Chains A and B, each alone.
Chain A
Amino acid sequence: MIAQVFWNGRPVPFCEGETLGSALTRAGISDLGRAPTGQARAVFCGIGQCQGCLVRVGTRLTEACLLPCVDGLQAEPDAGGQTDA
């Protein structure tokens, strides 16, 4: 069994100890949706400073670059950002 997380329902494999941001980047997933301001969400600083890679896990927004992967983790783009004017 390969450990995997799910991005928008799509399985993404990860290594032990890896962050979600790193796993998504290695899987070629760079577009993480849109912020309410219209700005693209994506990894930028990679170390938890810029707030650019916020994703939704359950109901919470969190930095993908800091979030440790655990098997079965479900993450998706920030819905709040997509529905905004």
Chain B
Amino acid sequence: MSGVILGTAHREFVKGNEAICHGALAAGCRHYFGYPITPQNDIPEYMSAHMAGHGGVFLQAESEVATINMLLGAAAAGKRVMTSSSGPGISLMQEGISYMAGSELPALIVNIARSGPGLGGIAPSQGDYFQAVKGGGHGGCRIPVLAPHSVQEMYELTLLAFELADRYRTPVMILGDAIIGQMKEPYSPGLHEPPAPIDKPWATTGCVGRPRQHVKSLYLKDDDIERHNWRLHEKLQRVENAEVRAESYHLEDAKIVLVAFGTAARVCKTAIQWARKAGIAAGMIRPITLFPFPKALVHETAGRADLMLVVEMNTGQMVEDVMIATSHHDKIRFVGKPCAMPTPDDIFSEIKRLAGKTA
């Protein structure tokens, strides 16, 4: 999923945000709705230029609230649909995201996160972790969350997001940040097959010649809503059982195990390379799915590692999921840099400091 592509494979050199667009078009997404916000404007810019040429619909809505409801409507009609935004816009969409989770509607929602809370700033941040993985919307809504750490993954995880969305009838979120959205690197579109379109017999496509059907999240009769909740719960358990993805980086013999996602994980990789050269057995678990979280891998690794160093571009959010996954809380350390990117030197210094203590 994250391999280095060298040599003769066809490679394109694009921004992360643009790779998401390439992935969406390759996956057959022909309906984009959105409202501008930095640092993801490359996505609507690209879609506005190219969607019509693919016979699709690009629509800049009057607000994020309108956007998410347009997404809901087009998804209910059985179309592959997406939107993209950043923190403040994603907050505005949460009511609709919950309605879509409740109505079991497949869609891709991209959050190229910026600093917060509030209007915050346009600096990169991983401060939206809790919002993304713990529900965001009301009423027990939870949706799968994918965290790309390269331009290659911006493309591949977009394909995967549409595949998961259709397979489980759920909105899926891609949680990126300003750096992964703005940076360019080569990626190869040929390494991953776009998901085939699937039948959506539940879609509201016009009932001529068949019984009427409804797509809804409102259940008022007797214990219908309780049954609906248990059914959604059972679905999320299937997602947790089958769809956990994580990269193990120099993990086999690692004594100091970093846990990081997205851009923070890129920085950690450099720090780990330096640590290895310095004779320190460092490695990393990089969750690719933030929900479902790779609990089993963290649990198993924490049992044998000396220390678990969680690195995030916030003041500590995913570290709580690491603590849920293992009872070895005494082994957990945290380095945070809210709304800024740590340098490899920052992480390497911390690894060296910890290695001195464990030696």
- Asked whether A and B interact, the reply is no
